[in-house]
Amino acid sequence: MVAGRFIRQPLVFLFRSMMTAVTLHLAPFRGITHKAYRNAFARHMGHIDVYYAPFISGSGLEKIHPKKLIDLIPLSDNYAPTIPQIISNNADEIILIDNVLYEEGYHHLNWNLGCPFRRIANKKRGCGMLPYPDEIDRILNKVCGSLKTSLSVKTRLGYHRPDEITSVLEVFNRYPIYRIILHSRTGVQLYGGKTDPGKYAECLSISKHPMVYNGDIYNHSQYRKLQARFPGQKEWMLGRGALINPFLALEIRNISLSEKDKKNRLEVFHDELWEYTQACIPGEKKQIGWMKAVWHYLSGVFAGGLEAFVDIKRSDSGKKYQVAVRNVMQGDFANEEQIRAHFLALTK
Ligand SMILES: Cc1cc2nc3c(=O)[nH]c(=O)nc-3n(C[C@H](O)[C@H](O)[C@H](O)COP(=O)(O)O)c2cc1C
């Protein structure tokens, strides 16, 4: 019941942040960080304080189809302390999902104002809301009196321009936002190009709310560089860096494991995910498809990971898939530079 205790008590979160050096959040990834992934990660890698579920969209205004909440309900199935996320530009939709999740035992909701995909952003959702601070204001004005959970937001510098965030932060300052997670890119950059830590620094000076740094923390050295640049920064959201190297949080916390221990953990982490996939996803092709999404990143924890990933990608049966995985697992671990190269290769 770790998750239940954690989510029911946002104050515990605050307390833990004050007691420990840093708070580490694991970013949501649609298609990857579903419940089974979060749980396996928490069980075998750990050292992440809070995990975000991928966004729920189109949950509706009157009744929420149970399928939309399958990743979150029941709360007791979430071994990893999980925060649900919604993407919406409708206050009533946000209130409904908030109230339903509260009844299920959740005490925290994250609002996605960062998703850059055109089909979403062009409908004024995700980062598509950022050019419209008045609409964000209108929504917050309506929801803030009716929410039962505490609300955090996950956002970017803007949709088209990095200065869009300024007026948005001024709006946030007027409301009880619990945390602002900021990925310092614009939406049009998608996941490539450079992040803008300078702009993040400006945002820190404008925001009255606690801020969480997100974006391109691809290895421990990069984390240390950012930590040196922002010595007061206590909360960090790890994304692709942790999907590539699930030991990144341990490294940040200066916990070192033997190679053997790391291999064992990776093996049980993978096997748990594979077993879940086989039990819950119909059809071998789909099951392998699921696992490929994980390996797209995870292969980079091994030296020569991208080449090894080719064999996994080519596997068209469960048997071949398992052979390819065992081969990859026999490889040496990548060093920091190789992990960085894998990260950059994925963002080209
Ligand atoms: C395939 C994919 C799926 C994503 N899904 C979500 C999502 O559901 N919700 C969200 O807030 N961000 C999502 N993101 C963004 C990440 O959570 C994160 O903010 C982003 O990758 C930047 O952090 P990083 O550079 O550390 O990876 C997604 C990114 C990718 C590449």
pLDDT digits (tens, 9 = 90+) for 135-188: 999 999 999 999 999 999 999 999 999 999 999 999 999 999 999 999 999 999
Measuring from atom 30 of ligand 1, which residue has the nearest CA? 29
Q: Mean of the per-residue pLDDT values for the chain? A: 94
- Ligand 1 lined by 81 (C-beta under 6 Å): no
Q: In 3D, which of 16, 15, 47, 40 has the Cα closest to residue 254? A: 47
pLDDT of 6 higher than 50: no
Q: Does residue 216's CB lie within 6 angstroms of at least one atom of ligand 1? A: yes
Q: Can you tell me the mean pLDDT for 293-318?
A: 93
Q: Which CATH number fits domain 2-215: 3.40.50.720, 3.20.20.80, 2.40.30.10, 3.20.20.70?
A: 3.20.20.70
Instruction: Describe the crossing of helices 284-298 and 318-329 by its angle, rounded to 10 degrees.
Output: 20
Question: Can you read off the two tokens belonging to residue 64?
Answer: 């929420």
- From the CA of 186, how far away is ligand 1's center (Å)? 13
Q: d(Cα 194, Cα 262) in Å, to the nearest integer?
A: 31
Mean pLDDT across the stretch 52-60?
Answer: 94
316 pLDDT more than 90: yes
Q: What is the reported pTM? A: 0.95
Q: Is 156 in the pocket of ligand 1 (CB under 6 A)?
A: no
| Overall average pLDDT of the 80-97 stretch | 98
pLDDT at residue number 3: 42
Pairing of strands 50-57, 211-214: unpaired
Does ligand 1 come within 6 angstroms of the Cβ of 114? yes
Q: What's the pLDDT at 16? A: 52
Ligand 1 centroid to Cα of residue 27, in Å, is: 6
Separation between Cα atoms, residue 303 and residue 261, nearest integer Å: 17
Identify the pLDDT of residue 56. 97
pLDDT at 18 over 90: no
Give the separation between CA 325 and CA 299, rounded to whole angstroms. 9
Does ligand 1 lie within 6 Å of residue 185's CB atom?
no
Reading the block at residue 240, the tokens are 């692709």
Distance 319 CA to ligand 1 centre (A): 31
Residue pair 152/111 in contact (Cβ under 8 Å)? The answer is yes
Average pLDDT of the segment spanning 195-213: 98
Encode pLDDT of 100-109 as tens digits: 999 999 999 9
* C-beta 183 within 6 A of ligand 1: yes
How many angstroms separate the Cα of 31 from the Cα of each of 37, 168, 174, 320?
A: 10, 29, 34, 22
CA distance 38 to 269: 10
In a mutational test of the pocket of ligand 1, which residue from 30, 130, 226 has the highest number of ligand atoms less than 8 Å from its CB?
30
Give the pLDDT band of residue 307 (cuts 50, 70, 90): confident
What per-residue confidence (pLDDT) applies to 348?
A: 73
Quote the CA–CA distance of 87 and 251 in Å, as a whole number.
Answer: 32
Determine how β-strand 177-186 pairs with β-strand 235-238: unpaired
**Using CA positions, which residue lies closest to atom 29 of ligand 1?**
29
Q: What's the rounded mean pLDDT across residues 115-138?
A: 98
pLDDT band at 78 (very low <50, low <70, confident <90, very high): very high
Do residues 252 and 24 make contact, with C-beta atoms less than 8 angstroms apart? yes
Report domain extents, the chain. 2-215, 259-336
Residue 28 Cβ contacting ligand 1 at under 6 Å: yes
Name the band, by pLDDT with cuts 50, 70 and 90, for residue 62.
confident
Which residues, at least 6 apart from 40, have a Cβ–Cβ distance to it below 8 Å? 269, 272, 273, 276
* Other CB atoms within 10 Å distance of the CB of residue 194: 10
pLDDT at 17 over 70: no
